[in-house]
Structures are given as structure tokens and as C-alpha cells.
Structure 1
């Protein structure tokens, strides 16, 4: 574990030098959230109205939380690094290092969002309190249970994105699959909560990683319940196990393929 701690610290210190550059991304986030605040203010015609079981404040806070996670954890590390290393042959050098390549990529990614996410969280809270107001029924104590769920959701997303990158061992370009995954995640569960979609589709969405990556953590913030908490954590444990199993399987098969072909 010490070698991964060293990797984490070195990447963290490196990214601290670019905190100002990260802050420039606030402009895109502000515009995006401002547009959605205007949209939901228009959609909620009367005070106290519910849409899909959400009040206006809950809906806007939900979008700010999920978009804060989206902007705060975006990185080419889990999306492109593995695919690039495989295509240019650098993987043959990296896989002989005294660490597991996939864990190295995940550690590096964690250090990157360890800088970005707190910055976007602070921005989200500031915008929410200024432009929307306090979240009705929110209990700060519930954050003790919600923060681990958020971290698990980010990890699950990273594992699946890295798994998609690893298919570059067999295909030329994995970017189209990354694009499809990102757009599903963005539309279902990030911009809109699962409840906004037809009831016939909701059980299907709850069987996908979308339920555990963005919807679950944001749902617990805006409408916390211990029943929902246990349901989401159980689903996260299952998907984390599936994602890690898939990631290690693809990497192992890919490395074996390189050895067979003399890579």
C-alpha cells in the first residue's frame, strides 16, 4: 500500500499547482447550473408543486450535486490513459513496474479528483444557498452516511470507465464506448433523477451502474432515509465487485495477449 500512497501524494502535489486552471472550469459549471435553475423555475409553476416526488428546491439541488460530481471528477486518466498506453505500446513498460497497472491508474485518478471535487462542492454549496436557498428537510448529520456513498459511486464509475479503456487490447479505439457510457450517465441519473422517467423503465435503470454512481448519492442528500441508504450501499457493493472483477479480468487477458504476441 505504501507505493500507492506515494503515487497518490505525488499526483496530489502536482495537481495542487494547477488549482487556478481548475477554477476556470467553474465558468462552464456556473452557466450549466444557471440554465437548469431557470428551467426548473419555469417548470414548477406554483409553490409547493411536486414533479416526480421532488420539490423545486430538491430538484435543483439534485442537479447541482450530480453536476458537481460530474465536473469535479472528470479526468482523462481513466478515460484515455490506459487506451493510449495500450495503443502506443507503453503498457509493455508500465506493466513490469512494482505495482499493478490498474491500481496505479485508479490511484492517480483519485489524487486528481481529490483536488477538483472539494472545489466544485464548495462552489455548488455557495450557488445553492445563494440562488436556491436551503434544502428543506436536510440534516447535516446525514452527510456522515452520504459521503462514503459518494466516494463509492465515484470509484465504481472509475472502475467501469477503466474497464472500457482496457478493451483497447482488442479494438483500435474505445472512445465510442466511453462516449455512450458517459451520455447514458449524463442523461439518466445526472441531469434527471430516475423517477422522472417512465415507471416501466425505472426498474431497469436501477439494475445499471447509473443507480449507484450518481443517482444514489444525490438522492440521499436531497431526501435521506436509512432504507434508501442500505439499498444503495448494497447495490454499490455488488457493482464494485462486478466492476473490479471485470477490470482485473480484462487486464489479465490483455497482458496474456501481449505475452503471446511477443509484446
Structure 2
């Protein structure tokens, strides 16, 4: 219980610090309005040519789907850069003897930033969704706890993948290419740009087995087309991948610490 309290204390401090800058988050993330507007114009043309339903979704559902994927993607912390810098400049050496796990410290410290971003992005997303295409009449309030859980799990998976990539700094001096490749995989195979049903069948089958789809596609699809069976399937994959990347991040960190060669600080 004492160990858990330490991380909760770190999260509380992080939340307090980030709440000071909540106005900055709102202003900085307001370009979500323009992203969704461009998507609306694009998909209006596509639906005008293809019909009223694409990939099982109406235009209204498609725009809400894209809003949710953008909210999840934008509600991330800067842990990749922070950890990479800690490793590269040697600051991580001063954290080795601290009474906490570095990986879970980073997670706790990021929760404040993630929480504020998620709330501000969700608020902006709800407003522009209602203004652009109207409320999602298919969505029921009873589905909200399931959807929120799935969104949070998607954000957590994203975090632990980011920290896995950042910890490659122990061996690779310039690891930003890994982050770039990963972000493009989320953009495509993760269904952030278009639902994976629109891919060729073999790519769709592959995407459904990879973790990227359970960061953005899975939660967003539940928002616009919810069923308990789909939720159970998405939840199983999310929990499985979350455990995998938590374990992988702690493994990479321990291996990196053993081979640590401090070049700075």
C-alpha cells in the first residue's frame, strides 16, 4: 500500500502542476477544430460519391469516430522525449537509487498531463462534434463506462509503447526514427485516419492482431457501434497488450541499467 501511495502522490503533484496550465492546453489543442473540419469536408465528398454508409458507418458516425481517434492520439504525454533525454544526458543515473520503479514513476508523473489533455480534448471534441454533425444518437449513457475504460486502456498502451521506444536510448543515440515509424503505424494500421474495415481483407486481419488498433480503432469503434461482444473482444486484446508492454518496458529498463554507460551529467 505504501508503494502505491508513492505513485499516487506523484500523480497528484503532476495533476496540480498541469492544472496551472490548463488554458494553454485548451488553446494548444484547439487545432482539433480545424483537423475535424477538414475531415468533415473530405468525408462529405467521399460519402457523396460512395453512398450513405461506408465501412458500416454513416457520415455522422464516421466524424465521431475520427473525433475519438484524435482525442486519444492527442491525449498523450511527452514521455518519449523526457525519458530519451534522461538516458542520453545521464540524469537517469541519479534516479537508480530512488525508492521507486523508474518506469512506474514516469507513468505516475505522466498521468497529470494525460488527464488534463484528455479532459480538454474531450470537451473540445464533444462541442465540435455536436456543432459539425449533431449528437451521436446511437450512443447510450449506459455505454459510457465501457467506452471510457477502453479509451483509458488505449492511452495506457500508447504510453508503455512510448516508454519502450524511449528506453532504446540506452543503446541507440538517436532513436527518434523509432517514434516516427510507430506514429505512422498508429496512423494507418491503428485506424486513426480511416477504419481498418476499409483496408484490403488481409491487411484488416493483420491490423486486428496488432496492438495499434487497440489504441485508437477499438475504443473509437465502440463509441459509434457499441456491443457487449465487441467490448469484450477489445478489452481482452487491450488487457493482453497492456500487460505485454508493461512487462517489456520494465525488462528493457533493467537490461539498460545493467549496461548503463553514462555519457553526460
| TM bucket, shorter chain | over 0.9
Separation (CA, whole Å) in 2 of partners of 1:260 and 1:220: 46
Q: 1:141 to 1:151 in 2, by over 3 A?
A: same
Distance 2:62 2:228 in 1: 20
Q: Which runs of 5 or more residues in structure 2 are unaligned?
A: none
2:55 is equivalent to residue 40 of structure 1: no
Structure 1: distance between partners of 2:163 and 2:40? 33
Partner residue, 1:239: 241
Following TM superposition, by how much is the alpha carbon of 1:75 offset from its aligned partner in structure 2, in angstroms?
2.5
Q: How many pairs does the alignment contain?
A: 260
Instruction: Using structure 1 for the length normalisation, give the TM-score.
Output: 0.94
Decide whether the 8 Å contact of 1:159 with 1:244 is kept in 2.
yes
Aligned partners of 1:180, 1:116: CA distance in 2, in Å? Answer: 23
Unaligned runs of 5+ in 1: none
Which of 49, 54, 57 matches 1:54?
A: 57
Structure 1 residue 46, shift from structure 2 partner: 7.3
8 A contact 2:222–2:231 mirrored in 1: yes
Give the conservation status (yes or no) of the 8 Å contact 2:77–2:159: no
Matching residue within 8, 28, 31 for 2:31: 28
1:145, distance to aligned residue in structure 2 (A): 1.1
Q: Provide the residue aligned with 2:103 in structure 1.
A: 102
The Cα offsets for residues 7-57 of structure 1, whole Å up to 9 and x where unpaired, read as: 111111111111111111233211111100111111111797111111111
Q: Distance in 2 between matches of 1:166 and 1:259?
A: 13
Measured after TM superposition, the shift of residue 259 of structure 1 is 7.9
Question: How far does the alpha carbon of each residue in 1:65-121 deviate from its partner, in whole angstroms, 9 at most, with x for none?
Answer: 1111212x1332x21111111100011101211111010111111111111111110
**In structure 2, what is the Cα distance between the partners aligned to 1:29 and 1:249?**
36
Q: What secondary structure does 1:173 align onto?
A: coil
- 1:8 and 1:260 map into 2 onto residues whose CA distance is 28
Q: 1:161 to 1:26 in 2, by over 3 A?
A: closer
Measure how far apart 1:136 and its partner are: 3.6
Corresponding residue for 1:65?
A: 68
1:9 aligns with 2:3: no
Which of 224, 229, 249 is residue 227 of structure 1 equivalent to? 229
CA contact (8 A) 1:62 1:218 kept: yes
Tell me the equivalent position of 1:203. Answer: 205
Q: By how many angstroms is 1:260 displaced?
A: 11
TM-score (norm 2): 0.93
Q: In 2, are the aligned partners of 1:87 and 1:172 still within 8 Å (CA)?
A: yes
Residue 81 (structure 1) aligns with = 82
Cα distance, 1:180 vs structure 2: 0.7
Could you say which residue in structure 2 is the equivalent of 1:154?
155
SS of equivalent residue, structure 1 residue 83 = helix
Runs of 4+ in 1 over 6 A off after TM superposition: none
